[in-house]
A and B are shown apart, each in its own frame.
Chain A
C-alpha cells in the first residue's frame, strides 16, 4: 500500500531547467520525511506539486490516498501547507488571518474563531494576536504562517523550511509542535537546510539534487554510507603525533589522517566504545599525553556535502558524455540511488533512533 505521500517519476521543467527530474517518494502514514538538498535542488518545486499548486509535466502523485492530478480539490481538504515564504496578509491581524484561513477550510465562523485563539497561544502570538501582521517580526510571521497550516490539523502536512528565520527557542518550540503532530498521527514532509533538524525530526531522509533523489534512508543509514565510526585523538605534544599515528593505525581499518596544526590524528575503526578503551590504554602505556579523544560518527553535514558534492561531479561527467542518462524522459531512476537502498546492512533498522512516537513507530516499521 502506498504511503500517505506517494510520488512516482515526477518531472517538472521550467524552460530549460529540469526542476524535478524523476522524483519518487513514499512516506508511510504517521512518519516524517526530511527533504534535504542544496539551493535550487527542487525541494520547493516538489512541495508545490504535491500540494496541487503546480502540475508536473509527467509522473504521478498520491496524497492521503487521493490522486493529486485527478482530484486536487479533495487533496486540499487533507493537507496543510506552510510554504518557504510566509504567506500571511500583512494588513490583517494575526487573529483575522487565522480566522479567515479557518473559514476557507470550511469551518464554521465560531469554530474558526476558537481555533484561531488556541493556535495563537500555542505559537506564542497571544500578545500580538490583535496587531496587524505588518508589525510582526520575521519569526512571528513565520509562526503565524505555520499556525495557518495547522488550522484544521490535517492528516498530511507540508512544511517548506519551517524553521528558517526562527530563533533557537522558537525553533525548539516548533520541533515540539511537530513531534506532537506526528504523535497524533500526522504525516509530514519537511524540507530543511538544517541537517540537525532532519536528524532530530525525520524518520527518513531523502537527499535531493538537480531534481533527483540521490540518496534516501534513515539518518543513521546515510551516515553509515558516508563512512563509519572514526577514532579521533588530539595529542598534547606535536612530537607524539607519529607514535600516536602508529598506534591508531594498528587499531584502525584504513588509512589515518593527520592534521599537524591541530595535532589531530583520525582513523576509521569498527568496534565502538570497547575499542576506544583499548586505544586509550595503549596510548597511556606508551606515555602519550592527550588533550582529547573520542569516537566520532559522521554528521549529516558530512553526508550532505559528500553526497551533493559527488552528485555534482557525476552530473558534469554525464553532461560531457554522449548518453546523458540524467535526462531520461520517462523519469526512471537508476544507478547509485538503488545502490543506497539495497546496499544497506539489514541491521541498520534496529539502530535507527525512534525520534517521535517511540515504540509504536518501531512496531509499525516491523509490520511493513
Chain B
C-alpha cells in the first residue's frame, strides 16, 4: 500500500481561499479542537463554576444586610444589586482560561505546528477565544440558575435581560483577548494561570461590582466609575432592572450611558488586544 508516495494522493499545496471565509473556517476548526479539550478536561470547567457560585452565596448571605445600596440595607436588595457584579466578574475570568491554554500550546510546541501550516493568521487565537466564549456562556447559564435560587429576579423583561447577558459575554470575549496576549507573553503555563488572574482582583474590586462606588474615596471612585468593567456591570444592572430605587447614578459619562460605554470599551479592547496578540503570535517562539 503506497499512501505516501502515491502521487494521486498528492494533495500538496492546497489552494488557500484566503480572506474572511478561510479565517472563519480555520477559527472554527481551532475552536472545535479547544471545545473537545474542554469536554475532556471537565475539571477546568467545574472549578471555573465553583468560585462564582461561592461568591454568590457568600456575598449574598455574609455581606447582604451590612452593605447599604440606595439607602437600604435590606439583604434582598443587595442580592439583586450584587448579581450583575458577580456575573461580570465571572466572565472576566475567561482571561485566565485563554492565557493558560495558549501558554500551554506554546509550551507543548503546538503553536509551532500551527505556525507552520497555511492557516489564517489569527485563527489559533480566535479559535481559542471563541471556545472560551462558549464556556463562559455555559458558566453564565449555571450561575443565573443559582442566582434565581437565592432570590435574584429580572424586572425589565426577557429581551432586555438577554441584552444584558450579551453585553456580559462581549466583555468576557474582550477579556479573553487580553488573556491571549498574556498567554503569548509568559514563558510557562503556570505563570500564565496566575498572570491571567491576579490583576483581575483589583480591577473587579475597584468598581461598582460589589459595593456602590459613591462611598469610595475620591480617587478610587473616579477609577471605579471609568473602569471598563464598571460600565458593563452598570449596563447589566440597568437592563436586568436591578438598580434599587433611590440608587444615586454617578455623574461620570460611562455611568450615565452604561450600555454605550460597555459596548465601546469592549470593542476597543477587542481591537487593541487582538491586534497586539496576532502580531505577537506571528513572531512567537516557543
A binding-site residues for B, Cβ under 8 Å:
48, 51-55, 73-74, 76-79, 81, 83, 85-92, 96, 100-101, 103-107, 111, 115, 118-119, 121-122, 132, 148, 150, 152-155, 177, 180-181, 183-185
Contact status B14-A107, CB under 8 Å: yes
How far, in whole Å, are A52 and B3 apart by their CA atoms in the complex?
27
Stretch from B104-112, B133-141, B143-151, B207-215 contacting the other chain: B104-112
Total inter-chain residue pairs, C-beta < 8 Å:
127
Q: Mark B108-136, 1 if CB is under 8 A from A, else 0.
A: 11101111111100010000000000000
- Cα–Cα, bound, A85→B109 (Å): 7
CB distance from B123 to the nearest CB of A (A): 8
* Docked CA distance A48–B286 (Å): 11
B12 contact set on A, CB distance < 8 A: 77-78, 152-155
30 A-B pairs with C-beta separation under 8 A: A48-B285, A51-B116, A53-B115, A53-B116, A53-B285, A54-B285, A55-B283, A73-B16, A77-B16, A77-B118, A79-B116, A87-B112, A89-B33, A89-B37, A91-B37, A96-B33, A100-B29, A103-B25, A105-B14, A105-B118, A106-B22, A107-B14, A122-B1, A152-B10, A153-B10, A154-B13, A155-B12, A155-B13, A180-B4, A184-B5
Q: Which residues of chain B from 30 to 70 have any CB-CB distance to chain A below 8 Å in the complex?
A: 30, 32-33, 36-37, 40-41
Instruction: Give bound CA distance, A100 to B6, whole Å.
Output: 22
Which of chain A's residues have a CB closer than 8 A to the CB of B26?
103-104
Question: How many residues in B have their beta carbons less than 8 Å from beta carbons of A?
Answer: 41
Q: Are A111's CB and B118's CB within 8 A?
A: no
| Minimum-distance CB pairs A-B, first 7 | A184-B5, A180-B5, A87-B113, A87-B109, A76-B118, A77-B118, A106-B14
Instruction: Pick the residue among B1, B4, B30, B116 that contacts A184 (CB under 8 A).
Output: B4
Query: Assuming A89-B33, A91-B37, is B13 touching A121 (CB within 8 A)?
Result: no
Asked if B251 is at the interface (CB within 8 A of a chain A CB), the reply is no
In the complex, chain A residues whose CB is within 8 Å of the CB of B17: 106
Choice from A86, A88, A92, A119 contacting B36 with Cβ under 8 Å: A92
| Chain B contact residues, CB within 8 Å of chain A | 1-7, 9-17, 22, 25-26, 29-30, 32-33, 36-37, 40-41, 108-110, 112-119, 123, 283, 285
* List of A residues within 8 angstroms of B113 by Cβ: 81, 83, 87-88, 101, 148
Q: Which residues of A contact B9 (CB under 8 A)?
A: 115, 118, 153
State the CA gap A79–B11 with chains docked (Å): 12
> What residues of chain A lie closer than 8 Å to B114, measured between beta carbons?
104
Measured CB to CB, the nearest residue on chain A to B37 is A91
**Which A residues are in CB contact (< 8 Å) with B25?**
103
Chain B residue with Cβ nearest A102: B11
B37 surroundings in chain A (CB, below 8 A): 89, 91-92
Cα–Cα distance between A77 and B116 once the two chains are bound (Å): 9
Count chain A CB atoms within 10 A of each CB in B6, B13, B285 and give the residue with the most.
B13
B145 to chain A minimum Cβ distance, whole angstroms, is 28
- With A and B bound together, what is the CA distance between A107 and B108 in angstroms? 25
Find chain A residues with CB under 8 A from B119 CB.
104-106
Instruction: Name the one of A100, A105, A184 contacting B7, with C-beta atoms under 8 angstroms.
Output: A184
CB neighbours of A78 from chain B (8 A)? 12-13
A93 — nearest CB in chain B belongs to which residue? B36
Q: How far is the CA of A111 from the CA of B12 in the complex (A)?
A: 12
A106 and B118 form a contact (CB under 8 A): yes
Q: In the bound complex, what is the Cα–Cα distance between A306 and B9 (angstroms)?
A: 43
Question: Which of chain B's residues have a CB closer than 8 A to the CB of A87?
Answer: 108-110, 112-113
Residue of B nearest to A151 (CB): B11
A183 to B147, CA, bound (A): 66
In the bound complex, how far is the Cα of B11 from the Cα of A268, in angstroms? 52
| Cβ–Cβ contact A177 & B13, under 8 A | no
Query: How far apart sit A152 and B4, CA to CA, in the bound complex (Å)?
Result: 9
Cα distance, A89 to B110, chains bound together (Å): 7
| B3/A119 in contact, CB under 8 A | yes
When the two chains form their complex, are residues B112 and A53 in contact, meaning their CB atoms are under 8 A apart?
Answer: yes
Question: What residues of A have a CB within 8 angstroms of the CB of B3 in the complex?
Answer: 118-119, 121-122
Contacts of B285 in A (CB 8 A): 48, 53-54
Nearest opposing residue in chain B for A77, CB measure = B118
**A53: B residues at CB distance < 8 A:** 112, 115-116, 285
Chain B residue contacts of A77, Cβ below 8 A: 12-14, 16, 118
| Residues in chain A near residue B5, CB distance under 8 A | 180-181, 183-184
CA distance A26 to B40 in the complex (A): 45
Question: Which residues from chain A contact B1 at a C-beta distance below 8 Å?
Answer: 121-122
